[in-house]
Amino acid sequence: MRYLPVLLLAVSARAQSPLIKILSGELDRNFSILKEKADPAPYFIGYEVVDDESDVILASRGSIDAQNHGRHRLLDVTVRAGSPKFDNYHRTGSTDRIRFTSATPIALDDNPLSIRRSVWLATDRVYRAASNRLVRIKADEKLHAESGDDSADFSSETPQVFYGPTPAYKFDAADWAKRLRRLSAEFEQYPGALNSAVGVEAERVTTVLVNSEGTRLEFGRLFARLMITARGKAGDGMDLGTMETFEADDPSKLPNDAKILAAVEKTGKTLSDLLRAPPSDPFVGPAILSGRATGVFFHEIFGHRIEGHRQKDEAEGQTFTKSVGKPVLPEFLSVIFDPTRADFQGTALNGHYLYDDEGVKAQPVKVVDQGILKTFLMSRSPIQGFDHSNGHGRRSPGLEVVSRQSNLFVESSKKVSDAELRKMLIEEVKRQGKPYGLFFDQVVSGYTTTARRGLQAFTVVPLVVYRVYPDGRPDELIRGVDIVGTPLASFAKIMATSDRMEVFNGICGAESGDVPVSAIAPAILVSEIEVQRKERSQDRPPYLTRPPTEDKQ
């Protein structure tokens, strides 16, 4: 495979940092030695250092439960030996999980001797593992059946050079601790909250990436989140919880105390209502998912299935592998992944980045256009029909890069107001002769099975769900609901969307670790959704009475 010539693009005026100079020098030295003396010789080496500084403070019942400040630098090494067509990352079977790197800690100080020694030893170890595997899989190649996808193992991409400023990290731990003590004490007025907390996380992540193709990158980001959680136990033993979150690109932009207090009160009241709510029954019928719930829904049942590496992995179900150019969603829906968007209507987006973990520039990718599948999310691992990355190769330190989601946008051309969407729900309930429909207000998480051996199914975990009655009765809060189903059937049931978008920020876990993601979506009306009752604990609420709120000793 032909490599493009080194082009220095997007060079900023900022000078190189000491760390990028140290890494570049050691990369040139190691690559030159291995190219000359090693057999098999590497054709590519890359170094990525993630410098993470963070604070976490967690308070409950007016006291600090945990407070931590941390900083670390972790080095990941990529060595590719052989050729881009067939190298040490070549997959040879459905159970073949590849891992060479290991997130080596390096010095926080820019000490050339210390860092070079760490890089040298890590490179030597990774090269040995890479070369051993290449020799083994070449010898075993004839023993394995053809996969049907003869695409290369590594794509050619234009090298990038960018030296961005390191964002200033300011976090007043003492002030936040004082605020969280006061705010968390407000949960004392909600006796059903057996466990409650108000916590703040702040983080600065600086990434330095260099490779033997000429890429030289340094960029950083800030992110902060405030979380309010409350958990309790219903009389029948069912564990219940609710939460509110706020995100910003800097701790100073998180809400003031009045807004946080209002969220604490909302969380406490919602939990109290849930504890008194009737349990759900298994149900199949029409429903509305709020924008945040829709975001999780699409992330789980659609987003993971269009990650590029799954299309040539024989262990995967490959739901959409042969669907390019075909309808996969209703024609009024489009899906775009856009990591270049830092915020949406004032809310910071967790899935934003400038370059992915292979040094490819972030770019918007329209994967579905008016219902038609156009492409997949791609890393530098090509698949049949798609030879290049589109900036979605991601990982957390210590794991190998695969294609992952970023900021998921669901766009609709069949939009109505929230009030009209509710009216359409009630009409659909009457048409189907159902006793009620459902409204999913809050969703906390979800998970999906994409493997070929397992059932192609998903589960979305709601926190706050209401029955919507067609006869005008007030909506009824219910508890213990899980959304379940299979992806293709679920997409076909979407009837319309609202005209208002909501943001869900989260962390997605998969083969390449935990990566920050966002989903921005409108509420959707579905003609049919299936729910099951959540698993229930055999424990009951505490036998002993609650301690008094004042110390009377």
Distances from the Cα of 436 to the Cα of 419, 492, 532, angstroms: 17, 21, 16
The average pLDDT across 514-519 equals 95
**Lowest-confidence region among 26-40, 406-420, 446-460:** 446-460
The pLDDT score that the predictor gives to residue 544 is 76
**pLDDT at residue 393 above 50?**
yes
Residue 285 has phi, psi (to 5 degrees) of 180, -175
Q: Are 210 and 247 in contact (CB under 8 A)?
A: no
| Contact between 423 and 470 (Cβ < 8 Å) | no
pLDDT in tens, 135-177: 999 887 665 545 567 899 999 999 999 999 989 999 999 999 9
Q: What local confidence, expressed as pLDDT, does residue 551 receive?
A: 58
Mutual angle of helices 173-184 and 257-276, in 10-degree steps:
40
Tell me: the pLDDT tens digits for 251-261? 999 999 999 99
pLDDT band at 318 (very low <50, low <70, confident <90, very high): confident
Percentage of the chain lying above the pLDDT 90 cut: 74
Residue ranges of the chain assigned to CATH 3.30.2290.10: 18-144+151-276
- Name the CATH superfamily, with its identifier, for domain 18-144+151-276: PmbA/TldD superfamily (3.30.2290.10)
* Residue pair 226/264 in contact by the 8 Å Cβ criterion: no
pLDDT > 70 fraction of the chain, expressed in percent and rounded: 89
203: pLDDT strictly greater than 70: yes
Q: How far is CA 22 from CA 29, 42, 152, 356, in A?
A: 11, 21, 32, 21
Q: Is the dihedral of CA 499, 503, 504, 506 positive or negative?
A: positive
Are 499 and 387 in contact by the 8 Å Cβ rule? The answer is: no
